[in-house]
A and B are shown apart, each in its own frame.
Chain A
């Protein structure tokens, strides 16, 4: 079985400051890793994913995440946040080569960007 821990439930940060949202996972098998973003009263949207290859993955809006196998982490970072980044962020994992197994989600981190 897999589990995901998002250590921070809320992260306030000033506009244009850097941010890191932490995600650690536990799994006895290799996993795929995902970050989702949810804006108020919306569904979850995929932000970025790690399936294989380079351990550093990037999104189109400036976020990046690095897969660290030894630390079982997949932290999300952005060097300079905007007001529009205010949202809830979810880290998720899926067992490698598992077929149709539901993603396991963390509890989410609410990012609040302050002007």
Chain B
């Protein structure tokens, strides 16, 4: 139990589907992050939210749409994805400059 919960753990979706990934933290942190981890590639930071405001978007395609309704919840809305978007999507949270706490990830497969 890391304090950061991601749902679902596994997701298979077609290229025309719309789905959402959810992340929830009960650590009282005020920053949340989405990372993408593909096979044989480094961890890629996608989005950063500080106090519910998006402060970083690392050139992520618009088919990925983040939402942060409050400092405890973070969503990643997915639509018209491509097979190369198949990956492990990780959510993390931090408070200040200390370590990041990660969720277990969502294994996404686009067919």
Chain A contact residues, CB within 8 Å of chain B: 32, 34, 36, 41-46, 49, 51, 90, 92, 94-103, 105-108
Chain B residue numbers with a CB within 8 Å of A98 are 97
Q: Would you call B21 an interface residue if the criterion is a C-beta within 8 Å of the partner chain's C-beta atoms?
A: no
Cβ contact of B88, chosen from A32, A41, A94, A102, cutoff 8 A = A41
Q: Is B69 an interface residue (CB 8 A)?
A: no
Contact B42 A96 (CB under 8 A): no
| A92 (CB) vs chain B CBs: closest residue | B100
Range of interface residues on chain B? 20 to 34
Q: Which of A44, A94, A97, A102 contacts B90 (CB 8 A)?
A: A44
Query: Per DSSP, are chain B's interface residues mostly helix, strand or loop, or mixed?
Result: strand
Asked if B2 lies at the interface with its beta carbon under 8 angstroms from chain A, I say: yes
The residue in chain A whose Cβ has the minimal distance to the Cβ of B37 is A38
Contact flag A41-B90 (CB < 8 Å), given A97-B97, A105-B42: no
Binds A, one of B60-68, B77-85, B102-110: B102-110
